[in-house]
């Protein structure tokens, strides 16, 4: 598996698994942003002090620490919300490491901000859409297969809009 497809698979997991309600989606995204911001800052300070071979190990240690602390903090302040996130909050550590591995944290901050915002918009948007559809009687929308179908439709709509067919 190439780096980018590993990254895509890791982003897709919460995008489908944690968007059955907008609240869960928002929770995962907020934790994602908090963990990745702290992770990016700390790694920027660490990179100069480490030989390249130990970058990965440092990233794992850092991501595990940050995610554990965030999880504990969220449990202490909003236990019910944290329980809704389920295993997706733990997955954020892996996302940090893979994002670091793919060079995400060394890109210009504007680009990172934009991508983080797009990810959040997609998460919460999909969450709202699935919840609305689920409440209006389409129970499939709240299940994982419904999430896939909806995401597929969104991607198709995006492509149709972004690349208008050239007349020939």
What is the binding site for other proteins (CB under 8 A)?
A: 46, 48-51, 54, 57-58, 61-62, 64-65, 68-69, 72-73, 75-77, 79-80, 139
Q: Which helix (H) or strand (E) holds 41?
A: helix 22-47
Of 76 and 162, nearer to other proteins (C-beta) is 76
Q: For the CB of residue 16, give the shortest distance to other proteins in the complex, in Å.
A: 20
Distance CA 58, CA 72 (A): 21
Give min distance, CB of 79 to other proteins, in A: 4
Taking the C-alpha atoms of residue 112 and residue 138, their distance in angstroms, rounded to an integer, is 35
Query: Could you tell me the smallest distance in angstroms from the CB atom of residue 18 to other proteins?
Result: 20
Tokens 């915002």: give the residue. Answer: 117
Provide the minimum distance between the beta carbon of 64 and other proteins in the complex, in angstroms, as a whole number: 7
Q: 48 vs 103, which CB is nearer to other proteins?
A: 48
Q: Are 27 and 120 a contacting pair, CB within 8 Å? A: no
């Amino acid at each position: 598996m190439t780096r980018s497809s590993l990254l895509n698979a890791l982003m897709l997991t919460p995008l489908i698994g944690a968007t059955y309600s907008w609240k869960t989606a928002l929770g995962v995204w907020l934790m994602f942003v908090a963990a990745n911001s702290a992770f990016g800052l700390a790694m920027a300070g660490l990179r100069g002090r480490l030989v390249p071979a130990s970058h990965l190990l440092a990233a794992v240690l850092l991501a595990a620490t940050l995610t554990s602390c965030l999880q504990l903090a969220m449990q202490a302040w909003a236990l019910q919300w944290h329980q809704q996130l389920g295993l997706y909050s733990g997955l954020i550590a892996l996302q940090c490491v893979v994002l670091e591995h793919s060079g995400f944290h060394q890109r210009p901050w504007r680009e990172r901000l934009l991508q983080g915002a797009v990810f959040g918009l997609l998460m919460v948007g999909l969450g709202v859409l699935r919840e609305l559809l689920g409440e209006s009687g389409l129970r499939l929308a709240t299940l994982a297969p419904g999430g896939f179908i909806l995401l597929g439709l969104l991607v198709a709509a995006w492509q149709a809009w972004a690349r208008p067919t050239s007349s020939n």
